[in-house]
Chain A
Amino acid sequence: MRDRQLRARDMLRGDLEGEELERYVEEKVVTTNFEKLLNWGRANSCFPLTFGLACCAIEAPIAIVGSPRYDLARFGAEALRASPRQADLIILSGRVSIKMAPVVRRLYDQMLEPKWAISMGACSSSGGMFSNYAVVQGADKFMPIDLHIPGCPPRPEAVLYGFTKLQRKIMGNPDQGWRQRYNAAGTEEWARGGPRSEPSPEAAEAYEAARELIRA
């Protein structure tokens, strides 16, 4: 550590030369492309929506996972946004009743791209124990879900694990093809480019068709 500090001081003074300077630069500089950098930033500065549906909200970022013991801030997602316009992650924490479903869908629609949705717990993933007249049997019936976390409720560790999975998804290929699966092609507000997130041919075609419709 001390050695490195001394080397940094030498560099600033202009005392490093030749092979030593080469090694210093190799250690200190990382090359990447802009797309990767952007996705890295997105993954590590998620803004979850301040939003709870039912009992899973007790475990969700608002209370437990965001508290010092589990500390979602380690993953950069401790800043909860109270407006869907500012949030890019919605965590469905609890059962979605059929009366609430249009509200949730509207919140999701109000969030700006890129946006992600986590279905937390058994109830929002499949209806859970509420197999009855009042509860939607799985939130992915009315909105796209990026990640399902099982459990009733999920342990905070499970939520953190799910969140790191989501981060990997954001940093890898953020568009996992859900628009094709949910017949939602063309709902993008802008297209992602870059070598890692090349859309599939049919997605690109659907996107172009949607753009044509908008222009017409």
Chain B
Amino acid sequence: MPDAPGLELIRGEIEQDHPGAVLDTSFDRDQPTLVVDPAQILAVLTWLRDAPGQGYRFLSSLHAADYLPASPRFAVHYELLNRDRVERLRVKAMLADPGEDALPQIDSCVELFPTAEFQEREVYDFFGIVFKGHPDMTRILMPEDYVGWPQRRDFPIGGEPVTFTYNERNYG
């Protein structure tokens, strides 16, 4: 892992090539995180992959999160791994909610990391985050005709209430 000063060094080097790309850093429980401007996410990922001395060539996971009361609301997380030094780095892009009718958008990184193809589809499936430039932006796990983005925090959880006799007797 890059330690906290190492993370600041990385931030500084990115700032030289792409001013304003890194919005924030955090170092929590030995986990270094770069919070990145979503408009420059591809530039930062490319830099981390190709810049000499970095070599974060392995995308071990791509996922999203919904921090509903917070704003900006969505985050796409890129878990990068340097396989030579076994160092992990999390890159996080915060996306604002564009409202009821529109979907948040971010650039697809399939060109950089082919493994991201299915994972970006999964994020789209559950959070409704559109990855621009993705070759096949369709649902992957839910049925094709499903309506809604089920992992969003304001999505009803579904299922059926079960009327157990215990609940009936005590609360019914």
Residues of chain A whose beta carbon lies under 8 Å from any beta carbon of chain B = 98-99, 126-127, 130-135, 137
Contact = CB atoms under 8 A, between A and B. Distances in A.
Contacts of B160: 127, 131, 137
Nearest to A131: B159
A131 B160 CA distance: 6
Contacts of A98: 143
B159 A99 contact: no
A127 B143 contact: no
A138 to B, nearest CB: 9
Interface in B113-172: 141-143, 148, 150, 155-160, 162
Contacts of A126: 162
Interface residues of B, number: 12
21 contacts: A98-B143, A99-B141, A127-B159, A130-B159, A131-B158, A131-B159, A131-B160, A131-B162, A132-B157, A132-B158, A132-B159, A133-B148, A133-B150, A133-B156, A133-B157, A133-B158, A133-B159, A134-B142, A134-B150, A134-B158, A135-B159
Contacts of A135: 159
A137 B159 contact: yes
8 nearest A-B pairs in the assembled complex, by CB-CB distance: A131-B159, A133-B158, A99-B143, A137-B160, A133-B150, A132-B158, A132-B159, A132-B157
Interface on chain B toward A: helix, strand, loop, or mixed SS?
A: loop
Contact of B142 (A99, A127, A131, A137): A99
Contacts of A99: 141-143
Nearest to B157: A132
B51 to A, nearest CB: 41
A44 B142 CA distance: 40
A215 B88 CA distance: 70
B62 to A, nearest CB: 21
A133 B155 contact: yes
A150 B6 CA distance: 55
A172 B139 CA distance: 47
A133 B150 CA distance: 7
| Max chain A Cβ within 10 angstroms of own Cβ: one of B155, B157, B159, B160 | B159
Contacts of B162: 126, 131
A52 to B, nearest CB: 19
Contacts of B142: 99, 134
A127 to B, nearest CB: 6
Contacts of B150: 133-134
A185 to B, nearest CB: 27
A18 to B, nearest CB: 67
Contacts of B156: 133
B148 to A, nearest CB: 8
Contacts of B158: 131-134
A37 to B, nearest CB: 44
B141 to A, nearest CB: 7
A25 to B, nearest CB: 57
A126 B164 CA distance: 13
A180 B149 CA distance: 38
B11 to A, nearest CB: 39
A54 to B, nearest CB: 14
